[in-house]
Chains A and B, each alone.
Chain A
Amino acid sequence: DGGITQSPKYLFRKEGQNVTLSCEQNLNHDAMYWYRQDPGQGLRLIYYSQIVNDFQKGDIAEGYSVSREKKESFPLTVTSAQKNPTAFYLCASSIGGQANEKLFFGSGTQLSVL
């Protein structure tokens, strides 16, 4: 079945530690996205990538980094510079960058700080 796989489902971070969230898609989509969800805040865009080896900052990129070395993979690293990382992280993809395309979402990773 085609889709987006996020792993792990739950992740814990110690102070000063970097952690990486995995996102893989087998939909052959060019564009991929990372969103952060906090209660009452909706979804806020962290980074997005419209093509391999290229990505753009979203509204809240500080303290995060990404790479897009392969079309199917878009890992997100939460660095120690991100002082409030506890949130639900959602990865998504779309065929490309057209306005009318829907996004396909993974099932999310809940990150908590120990």
Chain B
Amino acid sequence: GNSVTQMEGPVTLSEEAFLTINCTYTATGYPSLFWYVQYPGEGLQLLLKATKADDKGSNKGFEATYRKETTSFHLEKGSVQVSDSAVYFCALRDTGTALIFGKGTTLSVSS
């Protein structure tokens, strides 16, 4: 079946550091891939998505590229801010199914 694996956290960085959160997936079809972000005590918000191989999703300085050959969708940001501190979830979705999430990675950025 379909599944998502993302790197364990927490990830602790200083402001302006480079961020990578690894995500790999297993899928039988041609899913779309997503990154969602969750701030404390809130629901999830879509950060970015990619719907086919080699697509790059981007938003708020974050980027991720849909790599079919390595079944990966790693999240990157060149310079993190304190306000980026949150939990990040990688997810995939096939047509007719619900979203399948990874376990989440907590990011903590200090000034």
A residues contacting B by CB (< 8 A) are 4, 6, 33, 35, 40-45, 48, 50, 58, 90, 92, 97-103, 105-108
Contacts and interface: CB of A to CB of B under 8 A. Distances in A.
Nearest to A44: B101
Contact of B99 (A6, A41, A103, A106): A103
Given A33-B99, A105-B44, A108-B43, A99 B89 contact: no
B97 A102 contact: no
Interface residues of B, number: 25
Interface of B, secondary structure class, is loop
B22 interface: no
Given A99-B31, A99-B94, A106 B104 contact: no
Contact of A106 (B34, B43, B89): B43
A6 B46 CA distance: 18
Contact of B95 (A4, A42, A48, A98): A98
Contacts, number: 62
Contact of B34 (A33, A41, A98, A102): A102
Contacts of A48: 98
Contacts of B99: 33, 45, 92, 103
B49 A43 contact: no
B42 A107 contact: yes
Given A43-B101, A108-B41, A108-B42, 6 more contacts: A42-B89, A44-B101, A45-B99, A99-B51, A99-B97, A100-B93
B97 A40 contact: no
A50 to B, nearest CB: 8
Contacts of B104: 40, 42-43
Interface in B10-33: 30-32
A42 B102 contact: yes
Contact of A99 (B41, B43, B93): B93
A90 B38 CA distance: 12
Nearest to B29: A99
B109 to A, nearest CB: 20
Given A42-B103, A42-B104, A43-B89, A103 B95 contact: no
